Each structure stands twice: as structure tokens, then as C-alpha cells.
Amino acid sequence: MAERRLLVLFGSQTGTAQDTAERIGREAKRRHLRCRVEDLDSCDVANLIHEPLVLFVCATTGQGDPPDNMKMFWRFLFRKNLPAGSLCQLDYAVLGLGDSSYPKFNFVAKKLHKRLLQLGGNPLLPVALGDDQHDLGPDAVVDPWLVALWDKILALYPLPPGLEIISPSVRLPPKYTLHYLPEDSPCPDSDLLQPSAPRDAPCELHPFAAPVVSNQRVTAQSHFQDVRLIEFDIMGSGITFSAGDVVMIQPQNCPGDVQQFCQLLHLEPDRRFVLEPTEPGTPLPPLLPQPCTVRHLVTHYLDISCVPRRSFFELLAHFSTNELEREKLQEFSSAQGQEELYSYCNRPRRTTLEAMWDFPHTTCAIPADYLLDLIPRIRPRAFSIASSMLARPKRLQILVAVVRYKTRLSKPRCGLCSSWLASLNPEQGDVRVPLWVKKGGMKFPADPDTPVIMIGPGTGVAPFRAAIQERVALGRGGNCLFFGCRHKSKDFYCQAEWEELVAKGFLTLFTAFSRDQEEKVYVQHRIRENGRLLWELLSSGNAHVYLAG
């Protein structure tokens, strides 16, 4: 009998595709299939020829781009020298997650499906195109498609004699078991955020713990929006960057939320534990030290401030001893309850921690072993770098709008990363932030005579500040900036810097202060007013135009 094994590979930017891939992995286990769930870049593509059955779950980002964790796979798969029949042994299916409000809706899934066909793969089903814009979200497509997929797979790989599909009411074992260490066991001195000896350039698995040099509010105290210019010291990190690059920052939960979470689940924050995979061969989470304290796990790893997904309520229902709570949790995890779940979670942006408060009997019954199955890890956040190494060597700056807004919930919603960054005060001691740098999508012209037109309202001006600093340091003129904000006196970021460059002849600046006069004025009005100049720069100067916002 053919070996009953399935490989689920995902390309995920925000975590939705990973969540769906893990859901498929759980459904495979219920059908007694040996199943591995991995991101596409950690899979050895050359081994695909030995895989009988592969399911691809992939999101589309930006303008039809693959997610970061499948870019290497993408480049390999589209190599021209791959033989046409190289995947003729492979049965596969592609599930795409996208948003139909974008022109290149599910572009990656469609292109992947087509390429696998070219290489001789055998599709089990037509490509599925999940859509965020649907009233029920991507599940409107995913749910019926998965029903059809399991029918196909079980026809190819029937259940072994004597085995039945494990009922959804039966709880599957956790991915890891958590073994507490005796309280008197010695404590290692290691800490994730101690500066480490330089290796290769810092990356997600090995971030650089950058000291915060300054954290300056650049909007008036009376302005509704708190915006920070934050500077990090990157000396000795091996980090290099140029204008248009992006810094990735790994945030953490605030101590108050960590304390609440531990109280709700009756966890001792300073207890130490080691993780053991339930199934041999399952890798340990790479960003968690072993041994680890509960406090470290909750502070640095578990995303208790994210809006919980359907899978969270599905697993939570298994722990519920309270009938009322269990019924509600089952409704939220059913296909019919998705509108109700959207109103409860997504519309008001309710956090995982707040949802746990609403189900107190269930929450206090959650076994610690299931925490990593229940709550996703905290994802890094991307910020445009707002400074140039040519102007400020060994330093890196970002411009951060602190996210804070109201929904129908009484407590304002706060951005995890921006609120944490705003709270850091370097005057109170050594404050460090784990970070690394990635190439950005903006490339500025190498030719010094090419003029550059930059349109950057609000914090969208950040990458242009880096570009202007870089170009000025190289003695390049032809810098034209359109900047917009609400009030000249309240949120005109870097005003003195721009005015100095204008006075020195390095910068042509057009500003739009939308609320400083009765009729609102935006950057597009200034662009229209200066149409002749722009056309001159474009037609005879071959100017490049950049827009960020």
C-alpha cells in the first residue's frame, strides 16, 4: 500500500496562510496521514521529486509578490533549466489566500499552479482562491474546497483497515509538551537580548540587540497623534543599509498584559521549563531559549495582543468545562458562526487576551502544553529606515506613528510594536531592541544627474529622508519633495532639516498643510499646481517618481 504521507508547505506574510496550513495539518492527522507542515523556504525544493502528495498554501503580498518566507523557493521553481517532467510523480493542490480589492488577486497561487503543471505535476483540484473581501472571509472558499480535497486524498490513500477519521470532538495531542524544571535547578545566564558576538549580518533567527540612543516625540503635545523619531546604535552589528531599506523589529508584550495572562491561566511567571516535541522530528521553536521561563515565553513569544482567529476558538472549545462558554466557542469556530465571530473579534479589534477574559471558566482550564498551539508567535514589524549611513554612520533611525484608536470597546486599541517602542526611555538605563535589516522595494537612481520626485505625506516621508540624506552626502541635487500633514505647527516632521537643505539649494520642497486653512489642501493639489515643473523633470530630466504613505 502506498505510504500515506502529506507535505503541507506555506508562504505566509501576516500568519493567515500559516494558520490555514496548520489547520490542514490537524485535519490530516484526523485522517491518520503522516503530515509535515513547513514554510516553503525551509523545504529542500530538490526533494519535491520524492514527495507523493504536496499541498501548497500561499498568500500574495504587495503587487503580486510572494511572501518573504517563500522567495528562495519561488526563484528556484522558476529556473529555466528545470526539466519539463521533473514533477511528474507529484500529486498536488494549491490554495491561495488573497484580497480581490488588489489588481493582482491571488497572483502567486495562480502562477504557482501553472508552473507546477508545466513541470509535470498532477493537480488534484483546481486552484482555490480565498478572498478576504468575502463576507465570510477566505473560509467561504477554503471550507468547501477542503471537503473536496479530503475526498480526493482518501480515494487515493484509503484509511487503513480498522481505522476511522478521528472525530472533530476529540482533542488532538499538543505539538509540544512543557516540562517544568525543579524550582531549585540552576539558572543559565543566557538572555535573548544580550548582545552576541558578531556573526553574519543579523537576521530573524539572530537579531541584533540595538541600544536605543534617543526616543523623541516629533509632534506637538497638543496634537492627537504621537509620532516618534527613534535612533538606534548599530555599531558592531555588521548591519549595512541604503535608502529604501527596511528595518524589522521584534516587539514584546507589555508587563501588565503578561501579568494578567499569567493570573488568568494560573501560571507562575518565573517557573522554568523545557519543551519536548510530541512527535519525533518536529523542530523546536527557534526563537525560544531552552530552558525558558514562563515570563519570557509570554513576553517575547506568544502574541496575546493579536486578534484571535477561528482556529483559536476551535481549540479553546476542547478545554471548556462550562456549557454556555463551550456552545459560544463552537459557534465561533463553525462555518455558520463566521459573521458573528467577525462582529465579536475583527470589527472591534478584540485581542486574544480580552477574548480569554470573556471565557474565564475555559481559560483557567487551558493546559500549558497547548499554549503554543493556541496562540501564534509575535511577528516582527517592518519600518522604513529614515536615515542614511552616509549622514549618520553607526546609527539607524525610524519614524513611528504610535497606533492608538477607539472602537466600540471601552479600552482604546493600541499597536503592540509602536506602543512598546514609544515606552522605551534610554535615559532610564540600557534599553535594547532586537532588529535586523532587509532590502526594501525602493531603489534610488545610481546616476547622480537623475532628478528624484518624492511624494511622502505623514510618516511616508521616512524613506525619503534617508534618500535625501544619502543624495546630499554624495553632493546630488535634483531632489524634489512633496510633504503633507495636518498643521505646520503640529506635525511638520523634520521641518528644520528640510528648510536648511532648501536654503543650501539641495532640495525643492512643496508642503500641503491640510487643516491650516478652511479648504483642505493635500499633496495632490500641490502636484497639480506644479504640473509644469514635474512634466519638465519627467520629460527632459528622466526623473524617477516615488510615493510612500
Q: How many CA atoms lie within 13 A of 480 on its CB side?
A: 22
Q: Comparing 5-156 with 208-250+380-438, is the CATH topology the same? A: no
The predicted-structure confidence for 171-195, as pLDDT tens digits, reads as follows 999 999 999 999 877 765 444 444 4
The residue type found at 130 is G
Residue 93 has pLDDT above 80, yes or no: yes
Q: What is the pLDDT of residue 45?
A: 84
Q: How confident is the model at residue 47 (pLDDT cuts 50, 70, 90)?
A: confident
Q: What is the mean pLDDT of residues 235-256?
A: 97
Q: What is the average pLDDT score of the chain? A: 94
CATH annotation of 208-250+380-438: 2.40.30.10
* Cα distances (Å, whole numbers) of residue 414 to 194, 251, 300, 398: 28, 13, 17, 19
- Say whether 401 sits in a helix, a strand or coil: strand
What H or E segment, with its residue span, contains residue 405?
strand 404-405
Q: How many residues does the chain have?
A: 549
Helices (H) and strands (E) in the chain — how many of each? 17, 21
Q: What is the mean pLDDT of residues 44-70?
A: 91
Phi, psi angle pair for 534, to nearest 5°: -60, -45
First-residue to last-residue Cα distance in the chain: 57
User: Strands 507-513 and 479-485, how do they pair?
Assistant: parallel
* Cα distances (Å, whole numbers) of residue 4 to 53, 149, 167, 333, 487: 9, 15, 19, 28, 64
Alpha helices in 135-176 (DSSP H): 139-156
Q: How confident is the model at residue 376 (pLDDT cuts 50, 70, 90)?
A: very high
Distance between alpha carbon 430 and the CA centroid of its chain, in Å? 27
Q: What is the mean pLDDT of residues 136-156?
A: 93
Q: What is the mean pLDDT of residues 238-259?
A: 97
Higher pLDDT, 45 or 331: 331
The CATH class of the 255-374 domain is mainly alpha
Could you please state the CATH topology (level 3) that the domain comprising 5-156 is classified under: Rossmann fold (3.40.50)
- Buried residues in 290-313 as b, exposed as e (16+ CB within 10 A): ebbbbbbbbbbbbbbbbbbbbbbb
Q: In the sheet that 432-438 helps form, which strands lie side by side, from edge to edge?
A: 381-384, 246-249, 432-438, 208-217, 227-233, 395-401
Q: What is the pLDDT of residue 199?
A: 61
Among 207, 294, 288, smallest CA distance to 259 is for 294
Instruction: Using CB atoms within 10 Å of the CB of residue 287, give its burial: 0 to 12 exposed, 13 to 18 middle, 19+ buried.
Output: middle
The predicted-structure confidence for 458-506, as pLDDT tens digits, reads as follows 999 999 999 999 999 999 989 999 999 999 999 999 999 999 999 999 9
Q: What is the pLDDT of residue 188?
A: 58
Among 411, 405, 482, 420, smallest CA distance to 225 is for 405
Residue 236 has pLDDT above 90, yes or no: yes
Domain range annotation of the chain: 5-156, 208-250+380-438, 255-374, 452-547
Q: What is the pLDDT of residue 197?
A: 45
User: Strands 5-11 and 34-39, how do they pair?
Assistant: parallel
Q: What is the pLDDT of residue 1?
A: 53
DSSP state of 403: P
Instruction: Write the CB contacts of 540 (distance below 8 Å, at least 6 apart in sequence).
Output: none
Residue 58 contacts residue 112 (beta carbons within 8 Å): yes
Residue 25 has pLDDT above 50, yes or no: yes
The predicted-structure confidence for 196-222, as pLDDT tens digits, reads as follows 445 678 999 999 999 999 999 999 999
Residue 354 has pLDDT above 60, yes or no: yes
Residue 246 has pLDDT above 70, yes or no: yes
Q: What is the mean pLDDT of residues 82-88?
A: 89
Query: CA angle, corner 35, sides to 285 and 92, nearest 5?
Result: 120
CATH annotation of 452-547: 3.40.50.80
Q: How many CB atoms lie within 10 A of CB 259?
A: 14
- Say whether 305 sits in a helix, a strand or coil: coil
Give the cell for residue 93: 493542490
The DSSP string of 338-353 is HHHHIIIIITTT--HH
